[in-house]
Structure 1
Amino acid sequence: MNILILGNPQDVHAVAIKQAITAAGAIADYLDTSLFPQHLKLSWQPGTTTGCLRLPSGKLLRITDIYSVYWRTFSGVNVPSLQDEYQQRIATNDAMGTLRSLMQACPARWVNSWQAYELHKEKPLQLSMVKNVGVKIPKTLISNDQEEIIQFTNSLEKAIFKPVYGGAHTKPVTPEHLEPKRLELALRLAPVTIQEYIPGTNIRTYVIGDAIYSAEIRSSHLDFREDREAELIPVELPASVQQQCLAITKALMLDWTAIDWRLNPNGEYVFLEANPSPMFLHFENQTGFPITQKLVQLLMQ
């Protein structure tokens, strides 16, 4: 059984999964797309399952030999620098087009798929889809319109802001942020996500297939990712929320995910985000939940 790990040996999560796959008796290799097209070779005949990968080691894997792929980190492609910008763009587009095509044509099970990865980049759409399956989300505005942002923020008791795409931590909205000139300059660069602040407790839930593991994250920080001293306490979600977890996972085309919630003082679980390739080793070490084992089982099903 050949299993690929989308990532590289510099990532501790990729290494942990590779070691666990090997211990379970399967063959694991890294698929580091940053080595394409210089060192990683791809071939495919469209309309067929005739295709292969030649890894930097020289190992040849036909796409029909690949049982599953664990999506850890997608690094894009790495085309050598060219003096001609037009040729650089053509080469990069050709490399990405080849890679994207083969990743979607490969009949192996992807945990998670290209489609799930693409959807995750559209966080406003993700929120909307989750609300459509009956899950509570924060009041949210995505905008680069100064008047709309001020009006929306003033309608909330307390507001936070964060990037639309992700990549930075959540911060509280202050009067300084809404100063007209500062706000106008910022919104000329990019739109922003404004949300109502949800008081309460952070809950993180890992869903692996039909297995669900949750823990309360006790932290004084607005964004618990900034808190290295955050305490993790295993909790059992209500049955209705567990069903919501499975509904979210299905709606977002995920086989596994980490869902972040806020549990408000009224006992309501409010959805914040679902990550298609979350870090998990610290969570696993602190709670004892068998996340690595469940992931390997999912990849070997």
Structure 2
Amino acid sequence: MILVCGGLADVVTELFCARLEDLGYPYRLLDLGFYPERFQVSWSWDGPTPTGLIHGPDWTLDLQQISGVFVRYIGRDGHAPLAQVPELLVDAVLAEAQSGLGALLETLPVPVANRMTGSMSNHSKPYQALLIRDSGLGTPPTLITSDPEAARAFYEQHQGQVIFKSLSGVRSIVRRMHAGDLLRLHLVRDCPVQFQAYLPGDNIRVHTVGETVFATRIHSAAVDYRYARQQGATSEMQPTELPAEVAAACVRLAARLGLVIAGIDLKCTPDGAYYCFEINPSPGFAYYEQHTGQPISAALADALRSTSAQGGDARDDLARVAAVSVSASAPDQQR
């Protein structure tokens, strides 16, 4: 039995549930939009692994029946109103509930896509860059600084071909620096900023599911293709193949973080060099699957299914990606 923890207002969770239905894989949905009021999760440690039950509106699931877990935590805006909780305590109640669930998922002896521990690197891009380099992938020339003069020197060193973005896991729009931005460099004294050399070429989004690699090449004139429309540009996507050593490095990177599924952002320059920007532990794969037909959700379902499950060969399951009626939003609305 696969346990899905997420909200159906999230298009990625919606697609994954639809894919499980399509493949005929048994699952239970712990809808985080109504947790904890409509669900009860109770467990204890009587040995090396937790034992307990999850009670839904009309079902009960023993933790020992779970073969794998897919989780997409949600914010307050995706949760139903808590009528019996004072307004000032709502955020605390939701945080406590999801943190408690996360603690349970950390110790379940089954594949979890993805555990909190594997997701922590996304909160520090400098640390994540070190892991990327250790995996064998290149990274762009980068400066992290709160020194205006250092930022100016980096800009001049790269002849103005520089982008800037946030250091943390908070989503930011990647932007090109322009000469006018030099007048604002004094602001970095209040907040360190990440500057990188702008690399020409195509963006490539890689989704790894275990050792399976799905690569999507994006053709777009926008610096940040996720916001192409806002920048007056378009983006086109198509499946692509990676060099074997690049694909292997992506798998190593995801495995090092313990990620069952990962979204890895690469850039392929005109001379065929590959550079990695970051790895996303909660990727919005629905958008890419919709536009390329790559069976990402089916591969993930297979990874979380019990090895004793009835049905055809896993390779046959990956080929059975029927048309599922799910409207995928633009990637700027997903992680």
User: Which interval holds the TM-score relative to the shorter structure?
Assistant: 0.7 to 0.9
Match of 2:186 in 1: 184
Find the partner of 2:167 among 164, 171, 176. Answer: 164
- The CA deviation string for residues 119-161 of structure 1, in whole angstroms up to 9 with x for no partner, is 2222221111111222100112233333333333333231101
Identical amino acids, percent of aligned pairs: 28
After alignment, is 103-112 or 279-288 more displaced?
A: 279-288
1:40 is matched with which residue?
A: 39
CA offset at residue 81 of structure 1?
5.3
Residues 8 and 31 in structure 2, CA contact (< 8 A), matched pair in contact too: no
Deviation digits for residues 183-219 of structure 1 (CA, Å, limit 9, x no counterpart): 334542x322111111112122222222222232111
Cα separation, partners in 2 of 1:227 and 1:92, compared to 1, 3 Å: closer
Is the 8 Å Cα contact of residues 53 and 61 (structure 2) preserved in structure 1?
A: yes
CA distance in structure 1 between the partners assigned to 2:148 and 2:66 by the alignment: 50
Aligned AA (2:167): V
Please list the CA deviations of residues 266-291 of structure 1 after superposition, one character each: whole Å capped at 9, or x if unmatched: 21101112222222233223323222
State which drifts further: 282-291 or 252-261: 282-291
What residue is the counterpart of 1:53 in the other structure? Answer: 54
Contact 2:111-2:260 at 8 Å conserved across structures:
no
Aligned counterpart, 1:261: 266
Q: Secondary structure at the match of 2:8?
A: coil
Mark the CA change 1:288 to 1:39 in structure 2 (over 3 Å): closer, same or farther.
closer
Tell me how far apart the structure 2 counterparts of residues 64 and 129 of structure 1 sit (CA, whole Å): 34
> Structure 2 length as normaliser, TM-score?
0.77
Greater relative contact order (CA < 8 Å, ≥ 6 in sequence): 2
The verdict on how the C-alpha distance between 1:154 and 1:251 changes in structure 2, with shifts beyond 3 A counting, is farther
Q: Does 1:250 align with 2:255?
A: yes
Q: Would the aligned equivalents of 1:63 and 1:108 in 2 still touch at CA under 8 Å?
A: no
Decide which moves more: 161-170 or 224-233. 224-233
User: Residue type of the partner of 2:195?
Assistant: I
Choose 11-20 or 28-37, whichever is displaced more.
28-37
- Counterparts in 2 of 1:183 and 1:52: CA distance versus 1, 3 Å: farther
Alpha-carbon distance in structure 2 between the residues aligned to 1:42 and 1:233: 42
1:64 maps to: 64
Q: Which amino acid aligns with 1:291?
A: I
Q: Give distance in 2, aligned partners of 1:125 and 1:257.
A: 17
In structure 2, distance between residues paired with 1:278 and 1:266: 28
Change (3 A) 1:187 1:30: farther
What are the equivalent positions in structure 2 for 1:63-102 lying under 5 Å apart?
63-75=63-75, 82=86, 94-95=96-97, 97-102=99-104
Using the size of structure 1 for normalisation, the TM-score is 0.85
In 2: Cα distance, 1:241 partner to 1:234 partner: 15
Give 1:47 shift. 5.1
**2:288 counterpart letter in structure 1:** F
Q: What residue number does 1:26 align with?
A: 25
Q: What corresponds to 1:221 in structure 2?
A: 222
Q: Offset of 1:177 from its aligned partner?
A: 2.3
Secondary structure at the aligned position of 1:199 is classed as coil
Tell me how far 1:178 sits from its aligned partner. 2.5
Match of 1:141 in 2: 143
Q: Aligned partners of 1:96, 1:213: CA distance in 2, in Å? A: 30
